[in-house]
Structure 1
Amino acid sequence: MPKMITILGPTASGKTALAAALAYKIGAEIISADSRQVYSGMTVGTGKDLDDYVVNGRQIKYHLIDIARPGDKYNIYEYQRDFHKVYAELAQRGVMPILCGGSGLYIETVLKGYSLSTVPQNPELRQRLSGKTLEELTEILVDLKARNNSCMHNRSDVDTAQRAVRAIEIEEYNLHHPSSNTEFPPVESVIIGVDIDRESRRARITERLRQRLEHGLVEEVEGLLESGVSAEDLIYYGLEYKYVTEYVTGRTTRDEMFKGLEIAIHQFAKRQMTWFRGMERRGFTINWVDWHMSMDEKLEYIMKLIVTQS
């Protein structure tokens, strides 16, 4: 068996149900890789679909869901730290982890074992770097990384001037604070991707949005606002929380909210797939399963794949 199985896919692709069915079959537990499902009280809007974790009457254990308070700004550094705590605990118990989600950055960071840092912004440094070309910033970064004995992350550090400045900021800080980074090892994993065609995905997104509105999405947002979470904090989380908060606070009509949110989720799903295709270009092997296959067919394919890659 591999050390971990990863199941990824865009929103509305049925990845959670597939992960739960596989967990039931092999006695695994699920580690969520969703940047918003970490927040408690944000259940309908983030699509936690907790019923999916019950298979044939058995509760499948899941992790990294409902671990932060609404209104907090949970980040990828915290996620990587929390993932490795769970991963180590499962390894100690001899339990197979299934990493499941649609947050490509979270998944890639865990699998690659990127060295992340809690480095604060340096306004003075940013001022000095303003106006420099991407080529000039790259030269500065390469020199700093050489001095720190660190490496480029597939050149993603210099995709844009903004990213290059942040990377320089981190390296400059680490030069004087060598203990600021936490090193996490890469994690070996068989990666399964749920491939859903565009039309089916769009239809499922629209239907899921209608269902969420029928099952209390507006009431969930109202409750969060009443509990003291600010409208600005909810809008920060984007998608459902942004559009429904704007509706609840009278900034838009219900029809405007639905249409705007529907478009935004479609665009989000497209960006997810773009990220996953980018992962393939960056060296990850994603074994795609057709969404139209039955659950039994998907599980049979995955079990054969696990055997061949063990």
Structure 2
Amino acid sequence: MITILGPTASGKTRLAVALALKLNAEIISADSRQVYRRMDIGTGKDLDDYCVEGQRVPFHLIDICEPGTKYNLFEYQRDFLAAYDLIRGRNRLPLLCGGTGLYIESVLKGYQLSPVPQDAALRERLSDKSLDELTEMLRDLKRQTGSAMHNRSDVDTPQRAIRAIEIEMGVLAAQRDKDEGRCMERSFPQINSVILGVDIDREERRKKITARLKERLEQGMADEVRSLLDEGISPEDLTYYGLEYRYVTEYVTGKITFDEMFQRLEIAIHQFAKRQMTWFRGMERRGFTIHWIDAMLPMDEKISQALSYI
């Protein structure tokens, strides 16, 4: 398998598509929000990028579940393996592409996971705690589990932090069960992958993020959120998805002005991209070799450099 990773606005999808055409590959998305149908502008699906000169590159794990649901890592591993086996069964090359470091690392490292159901009693106990308090609880749990599973990009709302705590507590329980010979984990195969990273200069990344945010707002990101609310999806469920959906929901429900929404969202996306790079650098410290390619190179040079690593 080939893996292409990078922060938001780095151009990783375009590189993946161009490389997939060269190598007869199919793309498996590693994006925690592009799994949701009708959440298109806010998640930056850019599905037109998968079509080049009339040729469409097959992609997987985009538009596979309904808004309002809480897709999780266990489900991603399951769906990844199904897509991976399907692509290999066609004698084609799987190409994993995305910016959700947790999803990428979970399949490259082969995390052994058990499903973690929602815990109503735990959620009730945590319901009045602040995001800072929840984040500290999560940090303590991670110290106990030794887990690299959650970083701040996963817990930017109280709902996401509570879900992360549920998962870490599930990991802790599974570790205890394993020690006592009672753990039933999903086995995960070892998948060998060349990892390519798209590296973009910080200032250039900031420019692209701001320009893309303006473009998405012009494309109707607020209308997309209104449409989802009109479907009956609650504002709380939409803010769970963080970033665009958090701040645009606050804007369309009248909690903040357009200018406040733009400023806060712009800052949040810049911070998110920085955390993505922190995760990828952490992967290198955890033993992964990432071959970095300059995002500003012409596409033919990026393709040539990528092929030299494969």
Partners of 2:88 and 2:168 in 1: CA distance: 36
Is the aligned partner of 1:197 residue 2:194?
no
In structure 2, the partner of 1:55 is: 52
How far residue 171 of structure 1 moved from its aligned partner, in angstroms, is 2.2
Structure 2 unaligned runs (5+)?
A: 126-136, 152-164
In structure 2, the partner of 1:145 is: none
Equivalent residue letter for 2:262:
F
CA separation of 1:122 and 1:266: change in aligned 2, threshold 3 A? same
In structure 1, the partner of 2:91 is: 94
Two-structure CA RMSD over aligned residues (Å): 2.5
In structure 1, the partner of 2:157 is: none
What number of residue pairs does the alignment pair up?
A: 279
In structure 2, the partner of 1:72 is: 69
How far residue 167 of structure 1 moved from its aligned partner, in angstroms, is 3.4
Deviating runs (4+, > 6 A) in structure 1?
Answer: none
User: Sequence identity, in percent?
Assistant: 58
Partners of 1:23 and 1:158 in 2: CA distance: 30
1:157–1:167 contact (8 Å) kept in structure 2:
no
How far residue 103 of structure 1 moved from its aligned partner, in angstroms, is 0.1
For 1:95-244, list aligned pairs within 5 A: 95-120=92-117, 138=144, 156=148, 166-174=170-178, 178=182, 180-244=184-248
Partners of 2:306 and 2:14 in 1: CA distance: 14
Partners of 2:248 and 2:265 in 1: CA distance: 8
2:61–2:80 contact (8 Å) kept in structure 1:
yes
SS at match of 1:181: coil
In structure 1, the partner of 2:154 is: none
For 1:223-302, list aligned pairs within 5 A: 223-302=227-306
CA separation of 1:238 and 1:187: change in aligned 2, threshold 3 A? same
Is the aligned partner of 1:42 residue 2:42?
no
Partners of 1:158 and 1:9 in 2: CA distance: 18
How high is the TM-score relative to the length of structure 2?
Answer: 0.84
Equivalent residue letter for 1:71:
G
Partners of 1:157 and 1:272 in 2: CA distance: 13
Structure 1 unaligned runs (5+)?
A: 142-152
How far residue 164 of structure 1 moved from its aligned partner, in angstroms, is 7.2
How far residue 168 of structure 1 moved from its aligned partner, in angstroms, is 2.5
1:114–1:186 contact (8 Å) kept in structure 2:
no
CA separation of 1:252 and 1:6: change in aligned 2, threshold 3 A? same
Partners of 2:190 and 2:290 in 1: CA distance: 16
How far residue 93 of structure 1 moved from its aligned partner, in angstroms, is 0.9
CA separation of 1:164 and 1:239: change in aligned 2, threshold 3 A? closer
2:27–2:94 contact (8 Å) kept in structure 1:
yes
